[in-house]
Amino acid sequence: MNEFFAALEQGSVGLWVRESPSMFAYTGLITVHAIGLAFAVGFSWAIALRALGVARAVPLEAMESFFGAVWIGFWLCAVSGVAMAIGHATTDLTSPMFYIKLGLIGMGVGSTRMLETKLRVGPSPLLAGAVIALWAGAIIAGRLNEYPALTGIGRS
């Protein structure tokens, strides 16, 4: 498997991500990733906080329009994240923390989607709390993946 990851990393996409001086390579990808996180997580949290009772003056129905921004942000993160993972395949794709992050993202997406469908029925505090916790966990795991000395779990 490590040979596959090395080949992936040394392929044209991996080399471009790591070595290109283009602002569209790593610098652009990490920027798109950060913007995507701001949209996906920021709007998810805003909706979840409203479902928990924050800003009661804002109608719950008004929060539904934010889900479009959540999913645009998610896809920006997904595309940029895949490209960056290809660029660092031998470290990211062999890191347990990377897979913890992916699991938390999957659960964050699932809980956000459930919140989207249940919001029309009424607020679900337990689900809203899960959305906040899972997205926070995914962000923390993503940062810890970059600093394995802090946890002993991360890039090999």
Rg (CA), the chain: 17
How far is CA 64 from its chain centroid?
Answer: 20
Overall average pLDDT of the 129-133 stretch: 98
Tell me: the pLDDT tens digits for 82-110?
Answer: 999 999 999 999 999 999 999 999 999 99
pLDDT for 122: 81
pTM given for the model: 0.91
pLDDT at 155 over 60: no
pLDDT at 156 over 90: no
Give pLDDT tens digits for 17-65: 999 999 999 999 999 999 999 999 999 999 999 999 999 999 999 999 9
Nearest to 130 by CA among 71, 45, 19, 69: 45
Q: Where are the domains of the chain?
A: 2-151
Average pLDDT, the chain: 94
Residue 154 pLDDT class (50, 70, 90 cuts): low
pLDDT tens for residues 1-18?
789 999 999 999 999 999
Q: Is the pLDDT of residue 68 over 90?
A: yes
